[in-house]
A and B are shown apart, each in its own frame.
Chain A
Amino acid sequence: NAGVMQNPRHLVRRRGQEARLRCSPMKGHSHVYWYRQLPEEGLKFMVYLQKENIIDESGMPKERFSAEFPKEGPSILRIQQVVRGDSAAYFCASSPRPRTYEQYFGPGTRLTVT
């Protein structure tokens, strides 16, 4: 059973470009969480999605960031007009159901904005 997959593992974007980060949850998991890890810091929650629904986006920056988890395909975290401060590792975690402590993390995507 494959684990949580994220791609790309490394992404380099120039300031002003768009970044798209993909997360494929574990088989049978329909709940996805995105976290951001700035350099030398812990992970910080961004958004929690179920298939076709955003459940909690309390950690998402108000502008330029969006997330989706369509009925088919991976979850996408989209960052428009990237700035240097967006450089970070972005982790996705999935769980099989709500109200469970089980979250399985992917390997992360390291975004570098030049």
Chain B
Amino acid sequence: AQTVTQSQPEMSVQEAETVTLSCTYDTSENNYYLFWYKQPPSRQMILVIRQEAYKQQNATENRFSVNFQKAAKSFSLKISDSQLGDTAMYFCAFMRGGRGAQKLVFGQGTRLTINP
């Protein structure tokens, strides 16, 4: 079974700083996807960024980028020029590719606070 581990329960940085959230995962699959989701106080799950395992290039979405280290099974999220609106819970998630049910496996989350 796949597992996802986020070792930082909480993080706090000043506005405009850069912050990196860590995530490791365990799988024997070769075809999979990795995701970062944001959950603000509204509790809505918002997809931040997605990475396909077969792609060597790290995904980037505006101020959000990932460092995908497949051999180390590591998938960290970097937020540049952090903003107050980035304050939220962040969840790393894994999804097996190919056939079968495409359920998401989530980590425990990291609570990120951006201070003014």
Shortest B8–chain A CB gap in Å is 13
Contact A105-B101, Cβ < 8 Å, known A42-B106, A42-B109, A43-B106: no
Q: Which of the candidate stretches A15-23, A65-73, A79-87, A94-102 sits at the interface with the other chain?
A: A94-102
- CB–CB B104/A103 < 8 A: yes
- CB–CB B98/A42 < 8 A: no
B95's partner among A42, A101, A107, A110 (CB-CB below 8 A) is A101
List, in ascending order, chain A residues with CB within 8 A of B42's CB. Answer: 107
- CB–CB B33/A48 < 8 A: no
Within 8 A of A (CB), among B5-59: 33, 35, 42-45, 50, 52
- CB–CB B107/A105 < 8 A: no
Chain A residues bordering chain B, tally (CB within 8 A):
25
A95's partner among B4, B97, B102 (CB-CB below 8 A) is B102
Complex Cα distance, B37 from A91, in Å, reads 14
Chain B residues bordering chain A, tally (CB within 8 A):
25
B-side residues, CB < 8 A to A, are 4, 33, 35, 42-45, 50, 52, 91, 93, 95, 97-109
- CB–CB B107/A99 < 8 A: no
- CB–CB A56/B103 < 8 A: yes
A101's partner among B50, B100, B101, B109 (CB-CB below 8 A) is B50
- CB–CB A100/B102 < 8 A: yes
Shortest B51–chain A CB gap in Å is 10
- CB–CB B43/A41 < 8 A: no
Instruction: Tell me, yes or no, whether A44 is within 8 Å of chain B by CB.
Output: yes
List, in ascending order, chain B residues with CB within 8 A of A91's CB. Answer: 45
Can you list 19 A-B pairs with a CB-CB distance of less than 8 A? A35-B104, A41-B109, A42-B106, A42-B107, A42-B109, A43-B106, A45-B104, A48-B101, A48-B102, A59-B103, A91-B45, A95-B102, A99-B98, A101-B35, A101-B102, A107-B42, A107-B44, A108-B44, A108-B45
- CB–CB A42/B91 < 8 A: yes
